[in-house]
Structure 1
Amino acid sequence: MPGRREPVPFAFVAEADRFRSDVTPPPRERASAGEIAGRWLLGLTIVAALVGSLVIGTPALQTDPSTTPAQQSQASDGR
């Protein structure tokens, strides 16, 4: 049996867009002290991981200025 659709009047659609419910949602429950502490601990762990990776990775990105000219002079001597 094919589905038969009835036309929906446009006034009903417009009315549905501005419909407001008279039922108010329940208030949000407050987070317990353990949940707040857990969120802080998670945030501090993420920040510590980022800072640690920055501290460990920064020396690897720096070049030693005393070896850089020597390497360049060796490469130019080889020509």
Structure 2
Amino acid sequence: MFRRREPVPFAFVAEADRFRSNVTPPTRPRATPSQIAGRTLIGLTIVAGFVGSLMFGMPALDSQSHQTQQTQQSEATDGR
């Protein structure tokens, strides 16, 4: 990109990308032990929910073993 040779009417607009504030933001307050424990419990609850849904969901989605169990049961009742 080329630079303009004519002066910019507002110098602060031209220097806006280089501007740095001299005001430092306030420091973040540290989390209390109860907040840390609460966040940990929430995280563990979410993970336990995912694990539980996988434990209960995977057998329900396994259609192959479900069909073989039905076939074995029907053969056992037919043989009597």
TM-score w.r.t. structure 2 length?
Answer: 0.64
> Which position in structure 1 is the counterpart of 2:48?
48
Q: Distance in 2 between matches of 1:12 and 1:49?
A: 54
Q: How many residues are matched?
A: 62
Please list the CA deviations of residues 11-58 of structure 1 after superposition, one character each: whole Å capped at 9, or x if unmatched: 421212211111111111100111111110110000000000000001
TM-score w.r.t. structure 1 length?
Answer: 0.65
Q: Which runs of 5+ in 2 are unaligned?
A: 1-7, 72-80
More helix by share: 2
Identify which of 48, 65, 68 aligns with 1:66: 68
Shift of 1:10: 5.8
Q: Distance in 2 between matches of 1:30 and 1:67?
A: 57
Runs of 4+ in 1 over 3 A off after TM superposition: none
Mapping for residues 19-38 of structure 1, pairs under 5 Å: 19-38=19-38
Q: Report the RMSD for the aligned CA atoms in angstroms.
A: 2.2
Q: Which runs of 5+ in 1 are unaligned?
A: 1-7, 71-79
The percentage of counterpart residues that share the same residue type is 65
Q: Distance in 1 between matches of 2:22 and 2:55?
A: 56
1:66/1:50 CA distance change after superposition, 3 Å? same
> Which position in structure 1 is the counterpart of 2:9?
9
